Chain A
Amino acid sequence: MSLEVAITHCFGGFQLDIAFEAPPGLTVLFGRSGSGKTTIVNAVAGLLRPDAGRIALGDQVLFDSQRRLWQPPHRRRLGYIFQDARLFPHLTVRQNLLYGRWFAPSDRRPDEFDRVIEMLGIAPLLGRRPGALSGGERQRVAIGRALLAKPRLILADEPLAALDEARKAEILPYFERLRDETRVPILYVSHAPAEVARLATSVVALQDGRVSRHGSATDVLGDPAVTPLGAGAAGAVIEARILRHHDDGLTELEAAGGLRLLIPTVPRAPGTPLRIHIEAQDVMLATRRPEQISALNVLPCRIKALRMGNGPGALVQLDACGNLLLARVTQRSVSTLGLQDGQEVFAVLKAVSVAKGAIAGGPEPG
Chain B
Amino acid sequence: MSLLGPEEWQAVALSLRVALWATLAGLPPGILVAYALARWEFPGKQVLNGLVHLPLILPPVVTGYLLLLTFGTRGPIGAALKEIGIVFAFHWTGAALAAGIMAFPLLVRAIRLSIEAVDPRLEQAGATLGASKLWVFATVTLPLTLPGILSGAILAFAKAMGEFGATITFVSNIPGQTQTLPSAIYAFLQVPGGEASALRLVAVSVAIAMAALIASEVLSRRIAKRVAGA
Contacts and interface: CB of A to CB of B under 8 A. Distances in A.
Nearest to A104: B130
B229 interface: yes
B199 interface: no
Interface string A28-44: 00000000000000000
A103 B125 CA distance: 13
Contacts of B124: 47, 73, 86
Contacts of A129: 229-230
B86 to A, nearest CB: 38
A73 B143 contact: no
Interface of B: 121-122, 124-133, 135-136, 139-140, 143-144, 226-230
B122 A88 contact: yes
16 contacts: A45-B128, A47-B127, A72-B127, A72-B132, A73-B128, A74-B127, A74-B131, A74-B133, A84-B121, A86-B125, A88-B125, A102-B130, A129-B230, A131-B229, A149-B128, A149-B130
Contact of B129 (A47, A130, A131, A145): A145
Contacts of A89: 122, 144, 227-229
A103 B126 CA distance: 10
Nearest to A47: B124
A46 B229 CA distance: 28
Interface of A: 45-47, 72-80, 82, 84, 86-90, 99-100, 102-104, 129-132, 145-146, 149, 155
A99 B230 contact: no
A79 B130 CA distance: 9
A88 B143 CA distance: 10
A320 B85 CA distance: 92
A82 B125 contact: yes
Contact of B121 (A72, A82, A130): A82
A129 B130 CA distance: 22
A102 B227 CA distance: 21
Contacts of B132: 72, 74
A99 B229 contact: no
A136 B127 CA distance: 24
B56 to A, nearest CB: 31
The residue among A88, A104, A130, A145 with the most chain B CB atoms within 10 A of its own CB is A88
Contacts of B122: 86, 88-89
A157 to B, nearest CB: 11
B65 to A, nearest CB: 44
A99 B144 CA distance: 16
B131 A131 contact: no
Contacts of A102: 130-131
A103 B230 contact: no
Nearest to B136: A74
A131 B130 contact: no
Contact of B228 (A77, A79, A103, A131): A131
B227 to A, nearest CB: 5
Contacts of A130: 229
Contacts of B121: 82, 84, 86
Contacts of A76: 128
A59 to B, nearest CB: 20
Contacts of A100: 129-130
Given A76-B128, A78-B128, 18 more contacts: A45-B128, A46-B127, A73-B124, A74-B132, A79-B128, A80-B128, A80-B129, A86-B124, A88-B126, A88-B139, A88-B140, A88-B229, A90-B226, A99-B129, A102-B130, A103-B130, A131-B228, A149-B130
B129 A103 contact: yes
A132 B125 contact: no
B131 A103 contact: yes
Nearest to A99: B129
A51 to B, nearest CB: 20
A130 B127 CA distance: 19
A132 B228 CA distance: 10
A77 B226 CA distance: 29
The residue among B125, B128, B132 with the most chain A CB atoms within 10 A of its own CB is B128
B83 to A, nearest CB: 42
A79 B131 CA distance: 12
A137 to B, nearest CB: 13
A73 B127 CA distance: 6
Contacts of B139: 88, 99
The residue among B127, B130, B133, B139 with the most chain A CB atoms within 10 A of its own CB is B130
A131 B226 CA distance: 10
Contacts of B126: 88, 99
B150 to A, nearest CB: 14
Contacts of B135: 74, 103
A114 B121 CA distance: 28
B145 to A, nearest CB: 10
The residue among B124, B129, B226, B228 with the most chain A CB atoms within 10 A of its own CB is B129
B221 to A, nearest CB: 15
A132 B129 contact: no
Contacts of B229: 87-90, 129-132
B227 A77 contact: no
B227 A90 contact: yes
Nearest to B128: A80
Contacts of A73: 124, 127-128
B130 A132 contact: no
B230 A77 contact: no
A341 B227 CA distance: 63
A93 to B, nearest CB: 10
